[in-house]
């Protein structure tokens, strides 16, 4: 039997067994959301990948023009690369999809005003 200075405190290489849920044992989180830094890194990676197709598309348009001597092919390739920055920004700014068990922040139709939001500035005098 190993000696210990208290529950969960090591003495040498041995540790006394600690019950699950006690302060000495870390909590296991299996459904934790991705951290903000990891989300940002993933968004930057997506943006970089999408934008990395823009310069090769322009080079491909130049090569296609010299190979086929047809400006229509080059114009089509350039036209396909024009919306890439817009698409990259939209995808990079998108948040991760909501989970089914994630609470909604807006409850549809639950707030019903009991009084008008703006009262009439005119006063009626009954006489």
Q: What is the pLDDT of residues 35-79, one digit of tens each?
A: 888 889 999 999 999 999 999 999 999 999 999 888 999 999 999
Q: For the whole model, what pTM was predicted?
A: 0.52
pLDDT single digits (tens) 75-90: 999 999 999 999 999 9
For the chain, the structural domain boundaries read 36-93
For the chain, the distance separating the N- and C-terminal CA atoms, rounded to the nearest angstrom, is 98
Phi, psi of 14 (to 5 degrees): -105, 145
125 or 110: whose pLDDT is higher? 125
Which residues touch 69 (CB under 8 Å, ≥6 apart)?
none
Report the interhelical angle of 84-93 vs 36-51 (nearest 10°): 170
pLDDT single digits (tens) 106-124: 666 665 556 666 666 777 7
């Amino acid at each position: 039997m190993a000696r210990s200075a208290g529950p969960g405190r090591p003495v040498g290489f041995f540790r006394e067994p600690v019950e699950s849920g006690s302060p000495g044992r870390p909590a296991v989180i299996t459904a934790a959301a991705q951290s903000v830094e990891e989300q940002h890194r993933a968004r930057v990676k997506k943006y970089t990948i999408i934008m990395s197709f823009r310069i090769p598309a322009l080079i491909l348009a130049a090569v296609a023009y010299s190979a086929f001597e047809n400006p229509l092919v080059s114009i089509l390739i350039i036209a396909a690369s024009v919306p890439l920055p817009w698409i990259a920004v939209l995808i990079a700014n998108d948040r991760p999809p909501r989970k089914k068990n994630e609470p909604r922040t807006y409850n549809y139709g639950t707030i019903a005003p009991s009084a008008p939001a703006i009262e009439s500035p005119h006063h009626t005098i009954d006489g």
